[in-house]
Every structure is written in C-alpha cells, then in structure tokens.
Amino acid sequence: MSPADGHMASSGSELSASVQRALGDVFKAARGGGVPADRPHLRVVIDREPQLVAWQAQKYDKPIIAVVADSSFITGTFERILAQAPLLPSSLAETQQFLSVRVASSDGRVLFASSPDWSPYHVERALDDDLAGLRLSVALNPSAAERLVIGGLPRDRLPILVGLMLLTAALVAAGMFQLRREHELARLRADFISGVSHELRTPLAQIRLFGETLLLGRVRSEAERQRSLAIIVQESQRLARLIENILHFSRSERSAVSISAVPTRLDLLLHDILDAFTPLATSKRVTMIRLFDDGLTAPVDAAAIRQIMLNLLDNAVKYGPAGQQLTISARYHEKVARVTVEDQGPGVAPEDAARIWQPYYRVAAHAQATGGTGIGLAIVRQLVDLHRGRVWVEPRESGGARFVVELPDAALAEDSTEWPQAVARS
C-alpha cells in the first residue's frame, strides 16, 4: 500500500472488501502518525470467514506491507497459543482435561473449540474491536471441578434452604405437640391424685364409722353387727384393690412388669373371683349370672386374671345402676378363652371405646358423677397384652357395656386332675 495515495496491490488472491476497508483505516492512521512504527500490528477482520491482517507501519514514505491470513491460520494460531502457554500447570492438567476454550465471532459463530465438550460453568470475555470483538470463553469440566475447586462446585442453595425451613417447621410442630401432650398429662396426673385421695378417703371413712359403731356398742342387733362387720371387710378389700392397682401402675411405669403364666382351670379361677366379689355386689343388690364352659383351661397368671376381673367387675358395679344384673361368661372357641363381663349401665360411647384404655383417661360425664383414678382399664389392657390376648368393649344389644377379654392357647380339659396348678373353688 502506497503511503502517498493509499493505492493497494496484492499478490495471491484478491483482497475482500472488508480487508480493503481495514487497510484503508491503517493507511489513514499511518498518515496521521497515530500508528507506532516500531512494532507489527494485528487486526482480525470477519468477512464470510475470519481473516487476520498483520502489518508494519514504515517510517517516511515507504510502502506499508501487510500480510492477510485466512481462517485456518487463525484456528492454528489458537492451538499454538494453548500449547505454548497452557492455562493450568501441567502437573494438574496432565491427568484430566480441566478447561475447554472456545473462540466465537461476535455473532456467535464458533471459530475454534479446544474440545467438543462444553459445560455450564464458563466465563466469556469480548476482545476489543481490533480483534473484531471476538468472544473468548473458558469452561470448567464439571467432573474435574471436585479436584480443582476446594469443596466442589457451589450448588443451588434453594433446596437446602427449603429443607431447613421444613425441618424447622416440623421441629416447632413436634415441640408444640409435645408441649400440649405434657400439659394434658400434667392435668390428667393432677386429676389422678385427687381421684386417688378421694378413693382412699371413702372406704376409710366407712371403715372408721362402722368400726366406731361396733366399738361403742351402738349396734342394736346381731344382724346389724354382722352387717357392720361385712361393710368393714368389704371396704378394706376395696382399699386393698385400689392400692394394688396404684402399686402395679407405678411399678409398670418404672420397669417392665412380667407375668408367669401356667396352665390353669379358668372356670374354677373365675368362680373363685366371683365368690369373693359377691358381698360387694350384694351390697348394691347386683346379681351375677355365670356362664362358664366346664374344664376351660388356659395358660394364665392367676393373680393377673384376678386383677383384670376385679377391675372390670368394680367398673360394672360402679357405673351401672343398683339392682342390675351382671352376666359373666367364659367360653371356649377355637383355642381361645373368651371371657366377658356384661352390665346394664350407660355403656361406653363409640368415640370413647378406644380412649378408656389410656392411663388416667376418664369419660367426662362419669368423672363428675363417680370417683375413680382412670388407671383400672389401663392395667387391664397391660395384663391382657402380657398374656398375648386381646381386650375391647362393645355395646350390648339390650343396652349396657360388654367388656371382652380373649386369651390364647385355651383348651377344654376332660379331666380337671390333669392340671395340678388348677385353682380349687374356695
């Protein structure tokens, strides 16, 4: 290119319009003295294909000589640069390719790619106008990131935040639930203590009253004396049962209670229990009907069965009307001994049928009308569970409640002497 008039002559292929425009700019700049002459200059021109123009401005009036290189030269240039000046120390880059480099034109056409893989973890910079605004990007290979970035690539924190919030909400809910339960339990325990005190006071007052009457000789007849004595015995039995229940319950709260089940004549054991209960039933004019299968046996703990039955019978008398009829049955059915206690009381509403077995739980209407501790049925359930049996309450067709206890591994003994542990009828 002549510095005098900007005339251009070229060897090789004809210069494209963009290259000619670029060289025209060079000429103007050289004439104005704006281009230092001591070093070569480079410019990338993008026509259809990118081309590289390199020239050296000359002093005075000497022609300006430029070299124009086509795109394959440019690609080769990038490869050479990467080979000569690696982005990472060779000790790191040797085993795995960490980084990929891409060069694209300003309109997004990829001119060079060091590898076919690409990753979302990349940065991009636009080069200046002389280099046609080429866009240079470097991407990090995700599988190599663990080795390169301490602690791995940062992950999206939203799931962790949402998870933490959910966890916090769940913990708060659990805490509130626990707090409510503790409140409820504290209230039930307070009711329990006042129930126990009341239950202890009533039989004690009776014993004292009839004891004093006897002591002071205020009884008018032998029959009255007998009645007073019967009441004292009966009330002291009630006291003993109550204390037994409380002791059993506190034992079971502290440690696991166990039973020792031995094959037992259940019909005889039940006769025995009902006989002992008769004075209390009679005092409320309650009659008891017994429907037992003869020779019914099952592996049971006699003391536990006694406690189960007395709790059920006590409830039947307590919640049912005076003069009612109780039906107590013990039947054999497919290796199961089924013992039922039926009363003519108010029955248990379906919504209470599951809850009455919980410790301290008392049906509100009954709690006001009758004394109690709310642990009787909890003990019944625990003892039945220890026998691997089942217990539930169901409504009777004719009104009242039917409490059912099922005990497994039952049999009908032909000969009662087979069972040395059988409880003799008292």
Query: Can you give the binding site for ligand ADP, defined by CB under 6 A?
Result: 311, 315-316, 319, 343, 345-348, 356, 361-363, 366-367, 372-378, 401
Question: Which contacts qualify for 119-126: CB closer than 8 Å, 24 or more apart?
Answer: 121/145, 121/153
**What tokens appear for 404 in the block?**
């059912």
Look-up: residue for tokens 């004439």?
31
Q: C-beta of 370: minimal distance to ligand ADP in Å?
A: 7
Cβ distance to ligand ADP smaller for residue 121 or 361: 361
Cβ distance to ligand ADP smaller for residue 58 or 370: 370
Q: C-beta of 159: minimal distance to ligand ADP in Å?
A: 49
SS3 412: strand
Amino acid 308 reads I
Cβ distance to ligand ADP smaller for residue 139 or 305: 305
Q: C-beta of 390: minimal distance to ligand ADP in Å?
A: 17
Cβ distance to ligand ADP smaller for residue 178 or 197: 197
Cβ distance to ligand ADP smaller for residue 6 or 346: 346
Question: Which contacts qualify for 377-383: CB closer than 8 Å, 24 or more apart?
Answer: 377/311, 377/315, 378/249, 379/245, 379/248, 379/249, 379/252, 379/307, 379/308, 379/311, 380/307, 380/308, 380/311, 380/312, 380/405, 381/357, 382/252, 382/257, 383/259, 383/301, 383/304, 383/305, 383/307, 383/308
Q: C-beta of 377: minimal distance to ligand ADP in Å?
A: 3
Q: C-beta of 294: minimal distance to ligand ADP in Å?
A: 27
Q: C-beta of 278: minimal distance to ligand ADP in Å?
A: 18
For residues 44 and 50, is the Cβ–Cβ distance under 8 A? yes
Between β-strands 287-292 and 325-333, what pairing exists: parallel, antiparallel or unpaired? parallel
CA distance 139 to 39: 33
Cβ distance to ligand ADP smaller for residue 326 or 410: 326
